[in-house]
Chain A
Amino acid sequence: MNFGFTEEQDLLREAARRFIEQRCPIGEVRRLAETEKGFSAEIWQEMARLGWLGLTLPEAHGGSGLGWIDLVVILEETGRGLVPSPLPASTLAATAILENGDAAQHGRWLPALAAGSRIGTVALMEEGGALDPRRIGVRGVRDGDGFVLSGRKTLVSDPTSADLFVVSFRCGDGPDDVALAVVEAGAPGVVAKSFPLIDATKRLGNLDLDGARIRGDQVLGAAGGAAARITRLLNQCAIAVTAEMAGAAERALRITVDYANERTQFGQPIGHFQGVKHPLAEMYVDIESFKSLLYYAAWALENRPHEVSRYASLAKAYATDAFVRTGIDSIQLHGATGFTVEYDIQLYFKRSKWARPMFGDAAAHYERALALRGV
């Protein structure tokens, strides 16, 4: 047994951190946040060349053939740098297609996603925020070999950049009559809309389906009986968000520790006061704790499939509360400086507002963890 990263993973992390520091430092993040698209096409291409966009895809599909722990490493680093890009969303869409699609579907979409020539995203959440696939409301009505889809998906990442959406929908009245399909952007009845966010480095919005027709070859796997597969995808999404949160929360802590060592009041660095140093120690404990849950959940994806839901939920729930608290405490410990647009800490505070509801808030995940233990 071994609960550490491999040397290769440490190197991957170092390389990622260096790349982000050089190509997408925080000034660039701020600049991109102001643009309409919200990310840089050049950096996107470079990430494709580094193999990050198809990190967990097999080499046969243009991927790097790495595993979920490696992906967690990359997402921690993009989260740490607040790198604006559809990398997380597109990776999750590719994962869904890889795990649920057939050979033809793999060939049609995966190489393009790995190369970055197309961008994917997932549209799983709906109003109310339920995690249970049995409560999916978007409906698909049989139409020849395909379906006609209607309903709204919420909290869709990168809605206006995405070329394709992996959508969950209801295809019958039984609890497990649910399915996954790839919906193409711009098709009739498909409207994706992005709205202004507290965290300007992200893009988020709705996918409205109004009589959108999909062919049979857009359905991933069998239509119906997909509840377990949708749950697995949702777990992967929750794990990915938690990895981004881990990197961001660590960076927020580091920024605040540095400030506490620099800022002097009453003749000494404020980090000398326990009212400052103890909340920082508590942040550290919380961040290390949810990282432990995160790493186990990511490992379980490939090694203990039946444990994934429990640990993904414990990780996302713990992380959500901890990151929100880290955001608020970090600002407070900066004093008035923390309230300025100029200091970077505000960007991390705002990131915690984005992270809270993504793929289930703390309440939803704690509820699911309880249900899983029969309470």
Chain B
Amino acid sequence: MDFDLTPEEEAFRSEVREFLAANLPPPAERSKLGADFINEWWRKIREKRWIGFDWPREMGGGGGTVMQQYILKEEMLNAKAPPLGSDYTGLGWVGPAVIQFGTDEQRKRFLPDILDSKSAWCTGYSEPGVGSDLASLRCRAVRDGDDYVVNGQKIWISLAHIGTGIYTMVRTDPDVSKYDGISCLLIPLNTPGIEVRPIKSFAGDHFKDLYNEVFFHDVRVPVANRVGREGQGWEILCSALQRERSGIAEVNRHHKALERLIKLAATSRIAGEPALENMEMRKRLAAFDARIEACRLTGLRVLTRQVQGKLGDSDASIGKLHNCNLLVAMSETAMELLGGASPYLGDTEASVGRGKWQIGALGWPTTVIGGGTPNIQKNIIAERILGLPKD
């Protein structure tokens, strides 16, 4: 056990810090520069190969180690830098799927655009009748010469309305087990026969245009766009779900939220008494601190297992459960402290803190439901780690 960085890791951290000091303007200046700033920023970090930093160098990545990638992300978050590239899904799991399961031709075709922030991938798993039980998906792809013909519907697809392509799980063989008949297609969203219809969430303006229905009517997709073998979709999907891990961005967010929550408590009252003198409230705040730190440190234990090549296929679930609990519990604690100001929406004279907590109190389903619900995470832990019977 050693939490100190090695000299090489330390040197890399200094390199990142020096780069940030020299190239990242203060936030006020950034917003003045607008799009110019962000494009210039991505060009610069692309030159450093810090976008796709952990991808192999011959595929356009940076060839960085797991540890370096962690240091890079942490330093970027501490400096409040913009994200490492704009194609979140492409960088997160579509690119890695192409690297791991794709052909050289696919790597040349798809990876550069992801790295250059030119593509915007979205994820097509869920369907109207298919949520937690993903393996039962029905969206059908039938082979016709060098194409697949896709018919069916996906739903809750984040960002499809502004995306360039949809990474889609389809059923290519209905006659084998539900896990074995799934394949993975990369489908440009401008392919004829695709229709995207936005769905409104209840969370209001802040989460507007969040997710969509995507309809496929006789959509022809070249076989060359299939990642992996026919029938390998489930394996690709499981590995992609694990990549939604990392969690360090989440912990950073929780730390900031707790700081704001403590500030709010310092100016709030419970039954007429200062909230920070209320023992129950004090314990609750400290317990948030413990859970956030536990989440961060458990993430580091997972990272260590990843470095050692011993990553379990359920290691992400602990972090996900903490994230869900913390998000809801902290925003509801804030609503409690806000008291009479809590029902007001937006930045008005009736609200406190420009209505930011209310946004959290409405928007939690993005984290809690998106990417698999808490019940499903508990099933995963119970079945895969503890060895209890399957549902």
Contacts and interface: CB of A to CB of B under 8 A. Distances in A.
Q: Which of A290, A314, A321 has the most chain B CB atoms closer than 10 A to its own CB?
A: A314
Interface stretch (B215-223, B351-359, B378-386): B378-386
Contacts of A293: 290, 293-294, 297
B304 A3 contact: yes
Contacts of A269: 388-389
B279 to A, nearest CB: 7
A290 B321 CA distance: 15
Interface in B273-321: 276, 279, 282-283, 285-287, 289-291, 293-295, 297-298, 300-301, 303-305, 307-308, 318, 321
Given A3-B304, A281-B382, A367-B282, A292 B297 contact: yes
A345 to B, nearest CB: 16
A204 to B, nearest CB: 25
Contacts of A367: 282, 286
B9 interface: yes
A257 interface: yes
Contacts of A1: 2-6, 9, 67, 300, 304
B67 A289 contact: no
A369 B294 contact: no
Interface string A117-155: 000000000000000000000000000000000000000
A3 B1 contact: yes
A3 B66 CA distance: 14
A370 interface: yes
Contact of B298 (A271, A289, A311, A317): A289
Contacts of A317: 286-287, 290
A366 B287 CA distance: 7
A314 B305 contact: no
Nearest to A295: B1
A367 B300 CA distance: 26
Given A299-B3, A375-B285, A4 B304 contact: yes
A166 to B, nearest CB: 27
Contacts of A304: 3
Interface of B is mostly: helix
Given A278-B382, A285-B381, A363-B279, A303 B3 contact: yes
Q: Which of A260, A281, A362 has the most chain B CB atoms closer than 10 A to its own CB?
A: A281
Interface of A is mostly: helix
A56 to B, nearest CB: 15
A263 to B, nearest CB: 12
Residues of B in contact with A, size category: 35 or more
Given A293-B294, A317-B290, A370 B1 contact: no
A268 interface: yes
Given A1-B5, A296-B3, A280 B386 contact: yes
Contact of B389 (A271, A278, A299, A369): A271
Nearest to A260: B388
A318 interface: yes
A69 B1 contact: yes
B282 A370 contact: yes
A285 B304 CA distance: 18
Interface string B362-387: 00000000000001011101110111
Contacts of B300: 1, 3, 292
A11 to B, nearest CB: 15
A282 interface: yes
A3 B386 CA distance: 22
Contact of B385 (A272, A284, A290): A284
B381 A289 contact: no
A22 interface: no
Contacts of A290: 294
B322 interface: yes
A28 B226 CA distance: 62
A49 to B, nearest CB: 27
Nearest to A72: B1
A339 interface: no
Interface in A281-328: 281-282, 284-285, 288-290, 292-293, 295-296, 299, 303-304, 311, 314-315, 317-318, 321
Q: Which of B4, B6, B67 has the most chain A CB atoms closer than 10 A to its own CB?
A: B4
A265 interface: no
A362 B6 CA distance: 35
Nearest to A4: B304
Nearest to A375: B262
B388 A289 contact: no
Given A6-B1, A260-B388, A370-B282, 11 more contacts: A2-B1, A4-B308, A278-B382, A280-B382, A285-B322, A295-B297, A303-B3, A317-B286, A321-B287, A363-B279, A370-B286
| Closest CB pairs A-B (n = 7) | A366-B286, A289-B294, A292-B297, A277-B382, A281-B378, A281-B381, A271-B388
Interface of B: 1-6, 9, 67, 262, 266, 276, 279, 282-283, 285-287, 289-291, 293-295, 297-298, 300-301, 303-305, 307-308, 318, 321-322, 375, 377-379, 381-383, 385-389, 391
Interface of A: 1-6, 69, 253, 257, 260-261, 268-269, 271-272, 274, 276-278, 280-282, 284-285, 288-290, 292-293, 295-296, 299, 303-304, 311, 314-315, 317-318, 321, 362-363, 366-367, 369-370, 373, 375
